[in-house]
Amino acid sequence: MRVSEAINSRRSMRVFKADPVPQADIEWIISTASRAASNGNLQPWKLYVTTGKARQRLSAAILKAMDDGDNGPGAEYNVYPKEFTPVYDQRRKLVGKQLYTLLGVPRGDAAGMLKQFRKNYDFFDAPVGMILCVERRMGNGQWIDCGIFLDQLMLLAREKGLHTCPQAAFSRYQHVVRRELKIPDDEVVICGLALGYADPDEVPNSLITERAPLQDFTTWFHE
């Protein structure tokens, strides 16, 4: 698979098959992704990988916390900007509308939206659930490094015929994730990552989000 094919075929999948992912493939993806560019070669990423009963326990613990109203302190960083300018607000609302239209959840159906949101914490039934963290002492540059590492995990998954879904939703319940996976207090829970074989026949997996044209974000200087 060419790199461009991996990039163009990568998208966030929200329905996975139960088929297990070979341990050797998981290890290959992670070890190869560790070649990600890293400022000063710090390699700041910390990765927690759950499968089988361990993944199920993590999911069950978060869903129980939701049901019990145990919201904890919430995310430890701003997943989104405090205020959206029109262009970003439009993009965010469009993808939400597209997804929930595919799911048959009408606008204003809070129960339907919550039901779908809860699936995040089951890693959308993917057999592998990863949690990406970074040490608090690290600077903004190391968060960039973690983003590059995360991207390479997703692209390398495509080479193995697998799909992924990056999930910032796990940062909301970082107190539960931290407890269940024994993550030390000096690490920040950045996000989760579902990994597995996507079900191509499921409607949510047909969503392909739009991308802005080159001229919207690129400035050229030739002389």
Query: pLDDT tens digits, residue range 20-55?
Result: 999 999 999 999 999 999 999 999 999 999 999 999
Collect all residues with Cβ–Cβ distance below 8 Å to 100 and sequence separation of at least 6. 106, 107, 112, 113, 116
Radius of gyration of the chain, Cα coordinates, nearest whole angstrom: 18
pLDDT band at 101 (very low <50, low <70, confident <90, very high): very high
Q: Mean pLDDT of all residues in the chain?
A: 96
pLDDT value of position 201: 87
Collect all residues with Cβ–Cβ distance below 8 Å to 179 and sequence separation of at least 6. 61
Residue 217 domain-assigned (yes or no): no
Residue 64 domain-assigned (yes or no): yes
CB 120 within 8 A of CB 177: no
Residue 165 domain-assigned (yes or no): yes
pLDDT value of position 1: 87
Residue 128 domain-assigned (yes or no): yes
End-to-end, the C-alpha distance of the chain in Å comes to 37
pLDDT band at 135 (very low <50, low <70, confident <90, very high): very high
Q: How many domains does the chain have?
A: 1
Q: What is the pTM of this model?
A: 0.95
Residue 159 domain-assigned (yes or no): yes
- Range(s) of the domain holding residue 142: 3-78+120-207
DSSP symbol at 193: E
CATH number for the domain that contains residue 64: 3.40.109.10
- C-alpha distances in angstroms, 210 versus 8, 77, 128, 178, 197? 12, 26, 27, 34, 23
Q: Determine the Cα–Cα distance for residues 192 and 79; give it in Å rounded to an integer.
A: 13
Residue 218 domain-assigned (yes or no): no
Return left, alpha or beta for 189; rule: phi > 0 is left, psi -120 to 50 is alpha, else beta. beta
